[in-house]
Amino acid sequence: MIKIVLFESSNNNSGTTIEVKAGQSLMKAAVGANIEGVAADCGGTLTCATCHVMVREPWLSQLPAMTDDEDGMLDFAASARQANSRLSCQIMLTEAMDGMQIDLPASQY
């Protein structure tokens, strides 16, 4: 099991830690843990931006580069896109991501 810490935009000092198995997307892990800040309306088909998250370093620089489709879809995110914005449906969790810290946007709508 790996641990991921998710921080709500209203409270960047205290996050919610979830324990998940490697091999699933960050979006599925967050939805499975009932994290309200990840809506995931399209279920991970890369047709919405309601799983928008911001990945903190050093994990951001360790992720594979985003695809053109992910890059384009982030332009439709309800909250302003940041330099560290990603779609959680496109982040496949690995053991190397243990301890990853994620900031949630103020809103997905």
CATH architecture of 2-103: Roll (3.10)
64 preceded by a cis bond (ω within 30 of 0): no
Q: Tokens in use for 88?
A: 């959680």
pTM as predicted: 0.94
Express each pLDDT in 48-103 by its tens digit.
999 999 999 999 999 999 999 999 999 999 999 999 999 999 999 999 999 999 99
Domain assignments of the chain as residue spans, ordered by start: 2-103
Model confidence band, residue 22 (pLDDT cutoffs 50, 70, 90): very high
pLDDT given for residue 75 in this prediction: 95
Across the chain, which distance is largest between two alpha carbons, in Å? Answer: 33
End-to-end CA distance of the chain: 31
Helix (H) or strand (E) holding 94: none
